């Protein structure tokens, strides 16, 4: 039946029942109109006064009763009696009887009193039947309606028998629209995954030399690097049945559901082998067992146990390749990562400059880009950006282009999009002259140190336009991707971060420094402490004194234990203070020596609100030696 007509019928049936009941009531009331009108004249409620049963018998014996009308099966009566106190007038009196007894009837006949017995009004049989039927009918209709509504809702009561079934999306040939040519910037990962596709398409190439198909491939990398995109490309290239689901879809609030879903998933996969199974965010179900306060989640652990058994248990699962993705490999159970389960771990890292350029080329195909815009310059300016970041960058630039009613994406739109992604939305320009001047000195202090130190990243631009929580910003951009950072570079970065506070100190005095350097100081403390405790760049020697913090849910200890003594902790604090103090003194000295250049740059920045790195260098060339004259290691003792 058409769902539309079925829903109409569900509402029409009770309406018809109500109409039938109403019709029966009307017909019954019309047939009893005369009886009702007649009875109303002699009804029990028409009596003026009441009389007890004993006095009623006395009235009969004394001959005062003239007639009796009995109602309600002998429970009530209306008596017409002569009252001598009212000049022997006839009065109607109500009497409550014990019942229509034979003795009363005999007594009335003996005394010659006329009496009449009025039967109770009977409801028609059809109305009684429908009245008894209406409540069960409504109850049944309500249950049917709720059942149909539950069936249309995922996980509703109507689908109670479906809890143990897998929620994986299945496709005989996944048409994702993504191929390996559409994935850029992760060439090493693509090469490993192309072999998996070849395993499925031409297994004889590998089995002829004794190679076995890998059972699992784990994609590991930070968010946005393209792990899910690679899985879509595998699905598009392989041409075999493809199952895709998230790790969180295994676990429910009911015990045993997750393990049942794992069994059902692999059962369906074996029926369609060779096939691929993609599990996104596998850390949702694959976390280390026995972890957390008071043990782990039993339901999640049983789900993981079933997954381990299905991947490489007693029966095995030939012809099924599992691809999983996670950005938290450190929390995964060791049994899940052993050979025989996830045989390969493919690292999908943030792309280098060549990878970023290829990603930009892919995402710029469907966008109108100005011919003068250099994608290579954009790639050089965006170190650390992932594939998702670059796609978002071009999309934000396209939105700005449409908002400004331009025909193509230009350099200004790219610059604004980069600034918005990194620092936040642009705020209103500053109007307070004193605050504007103070922020200008602070930002020029950062820019001066970054331009004069040989080991510091070059300045890209300085601006007084607020973005996000920052009232002003100084942008640095490295010349190339830095995989390793030297001790001199770390100290240069500490001095660059302290440049703003040093400029406030030199220009306005120690008593007028502001809270604007709060974020810079936190960054300085973090870098200096890592130099001492993790990188061995202090007088304590090349010793790692602090491990990465372990969170409670990973297991083992409720509280992290320190492996160092109190005396070593004190020495760590002393070395951190020593590094920061030396860097600040060197920064203060550089700012003091270049005070004239700082004043000139501040006037230019207040006038233009934004100056580029080239404009900054041109001004500095008039006051100091450029290229950069200071080398970090020569400024303070090692």
Q: What is the pLDDT of residues 28-68, one digit of tens each?
A: 544 444 344 344 444 445 445 788 888 888 888 888 888 88
Q: Can you tell me the mean pLDDT for 469-475?
A: 84
State yes or no: pLDDT of 301 exceeds 50: yes
| Per-residue pLDDT at 428 | 75
In this predicted model, which residue has the larger pLDDT, 212 or 167?
212
The whole-number pLDDT of residue 425 equals: 78
Q: Is the pLDDT of residue 500 over 90?
A: yes
Check residue 604 and give its pLDDT. Answer: 92
User: In the predicted model, what is the mean pLDDT of residues 151-169?
Assistant: 54
User: 280 pLDDT exceeds 50?
Assistant: yes
Is the pLDDT confidence value at 1 over 60? no
- Between 425 and 506, the more confident residue is 506
Kind of pairing between the strands at 76-83 and 89-96: antiparallel
Q: Could you write out the three-class secondary structure of 418-454?
A: HHHHHHCCECCCCCCHHHHHHHHHHHHHHHHHHHHEC
Cβ-contact 456, 472 below 8 angstroms? no
Position 109 pLDDT exceeds 60? yes
348-357, 389-398, 470-479, range with the lowest pLDDT? 470-479
pLDDT band at 145 (very low <50, low <70, confident <90, very high): low
| 443 annotated active-site | yes
Predicted local distance difference test score (pLDDT) of residue 441: 93
pLDDT for the residue 303: 84
274 cis-preceded (ω within 30 degrees of 0): yes
Per-residue pLDDT, averaged over 385-398, amounts to: 91
Give the pairing of strands 459-463 and 610-612: antiparallel
Q: What is the pLDDT of residue 6?
A: 54
* pLDDT bracket for residue 501 (50, 70, 90): very high
What is the rounded radius of gyration, in angstroms, for the C-alpha atoms of the chain? 45
**How many contiguous H segments (helices) and E segments (strands) does the chain have?**
21, 14
Task: Return the percentage of the chain with pLDDT > 70, whole number.
Answer: 76
Question: Which of 182-196, 342-356, 449-463, 546-560 has the weakest average pLDDT?
Answer: 546-560
Q: Which two tokens stand for residue 29?
A: 């009331």
Over the stretch 419-463, which tens digit does the pLDDT of each residue have? 888 877 777 777 777 888 999 999 999 999 999 998 888 888 898
The mean pLDDT of 605-619, rounded to a whole number, is 89
3-class secondary structure, 277? strand
pLDDT digits (tens, 9 = 90+) for 530-581: 999 999 888 888 888 776 544 444 444 444 556 678 888 899 999 999 999 9
Q: Which residue has better confidence, 196 or 388? A: 388
Which is nearest to 3 in space by CA: 152, 225, 216?
152
Query: What is the pTM for the complete model shown?
Result: 0.67
What are the angstrom distances between the C-alpha of 409 and each of 206, 355, 417, 444, 589? 48, 21, 11, 31, 44
CB 303 within 8 A of CB 262: yes
**String of DSSP letters for 45-57:** GG-SEEE-HHHHH
User: Which tokens hold the place of 50?
Assistant: 């009441």
pLDDT of residue 35: 45
Q: Which range, 1-10, 16-25, 88-97, 136-145, has the best average confidence (pLDDT)?
A: 88-97
Q: Mean of the per-residue pLDDT values for the chain?
A: 79
For residue 171, the Cα-to-chain-centroid distance in whole angstroms is 26
Q: pLDDT (tens digit, 9 = 90+) per residue, 233-268?
A: 888 887 788 888 888 887 766 667 778 888 888 888
Q: Mean pLDDT across the stretch 289-308?
A: 71
Helix axis angle, 33-41 to 3-31, nearest 10°? 50
Average confidence (pLDDT) over 325-344: 87
Flag the least confident range among 189-193, 317-321, 415-419, 525-529.
317-321
Range picked from 147-156, 209-218, 561-570, 580-589 for highest mean pLDDT: 580-589
Options 443, 585, 607, 609, the catalytic residue:
443
Residues 562, 566, 571, CA angle at the centre, nearest 5°?
Answer: 110
């Amino acid at each position: 039946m058409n769902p539309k007509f079925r829903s109409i019928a569900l509402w029409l049936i009770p309406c018809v029942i109500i109409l039938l009941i109403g019709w029966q009531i009307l017909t019954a009331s019309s047939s009893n109109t005369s009886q009702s009108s007649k009875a109303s004249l002699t009804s029990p409620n028409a009596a003026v006064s009441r009389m007890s049963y004993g006095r009623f018998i006395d009235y009969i014996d004394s001959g005062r009763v003239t007639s009796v009308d009995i109602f309600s099966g002998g429970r009530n009566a209306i008596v017409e009696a002569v009252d001598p106190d009212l000049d022997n007038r006839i009065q109607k009196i109500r009497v409550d009887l014990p019942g229509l007894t034979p003795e009363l009837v005999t007594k009335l006949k003996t005394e010659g009193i006329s009496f009449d017995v009025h039967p109770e009004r009977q409801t028609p049989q059809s109305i009684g039947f429908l009245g008894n039927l209406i409540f069960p009918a409504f109850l049944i209709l309500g249950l049917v309606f709720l059942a149909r509504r539950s069936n249309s809702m995922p996980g509703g009561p109507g689908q109670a028998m479906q809890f143990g079934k897998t929620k994986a999306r299945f496709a005989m040939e996944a048409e994702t629209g993504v191929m390996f040519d559409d994935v850029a910037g992760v060439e090493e990962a693509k090469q490993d995954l192309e072999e998996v596709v070849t395993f499925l398409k031409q297994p004889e190439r590998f089995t002829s030399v004794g190679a076995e198909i890998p059972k699992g491939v784990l994609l590991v990398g930070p968010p946005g690097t393209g792990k899910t995109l690679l899985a879509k490309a595998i699905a598009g290239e392989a041409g075999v049945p493809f199952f895709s689901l998230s790790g969180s879809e295994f676990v429910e609030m009911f015990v045993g559901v997750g393990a049942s879903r794992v069994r059902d998933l692999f059962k369906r996969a074996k029926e369609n082998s060779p096939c691929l199974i993609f599990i996104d965010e596998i850390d949702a179900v694959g976390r280390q067992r026995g972890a957390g306060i008071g043990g782990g989640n039993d339901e999640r652990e049983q789900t993981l146990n079933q997954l381990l058994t299905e991947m490489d248990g007693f029966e095995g699962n030939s012809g099924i390749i599992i691809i999983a993705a996670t950005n938290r490999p450190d929390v995964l159970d060791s049994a899940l990562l052993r050979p025989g389960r996830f045989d390969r771990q493919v690292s999908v890292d943030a792309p280098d400059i060549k990878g970023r350029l290829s990603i930009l080329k892919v995402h710029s195909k469907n966008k109108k880009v100005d011919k003068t815009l250099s994608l290579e310059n954009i790639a050089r300016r965006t170190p650390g950006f992932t594939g998702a970041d670059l796609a978002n960058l071009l999309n934000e630039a396209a939105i700005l282009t449409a908002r400004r009613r331009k025909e193509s994406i230009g350099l200004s739109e790219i610059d604004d999009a980069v600034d918005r992604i990194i620092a936040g939305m642009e705020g209103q320009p500053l109007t307070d002259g004193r605050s504007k001047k103070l922020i200008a000195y602070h930002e020029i202090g950062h820019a001066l140190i970054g331009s004069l130190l040989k080991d510091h990243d070059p300045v890209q631009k300085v601006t007084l336009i607020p973005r996000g929580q920052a009232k002003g910003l100084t942008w640095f951009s490295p010349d190339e991707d830095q995989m390793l950072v030297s001790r001199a570079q770390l100290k240069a970065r500490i001095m660059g971060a302290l440049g703003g506070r040093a400029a406030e100190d030199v220009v306005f005095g120690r008593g007028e420094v502001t809270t604007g350097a709060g974020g810079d100081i936190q960054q300085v403390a973090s870098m200096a402490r890592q130099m001492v405790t993790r990188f061995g760049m202090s007088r304590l020697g090349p010793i790692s004194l602090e491990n990465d913090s372990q969170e409670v849910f990973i297991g083992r200890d409720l509280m992290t234990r320190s492996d160092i003594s109190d005396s070593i902790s004190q020495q760590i604090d002393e070395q951190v203070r020593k590094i920061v103090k030396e860097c600040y003194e060197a920064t203060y000295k550089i700012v003091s020596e270049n005070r004239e250049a700082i004043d000139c740059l501040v006037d230019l920045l207040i006038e233009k609100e934004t100056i580029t790195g080239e404009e900054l260098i041109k001004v500095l060339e008039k006051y100091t030696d450029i290229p950069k004259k200071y080398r970090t290691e020569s400024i303070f003792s090692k």
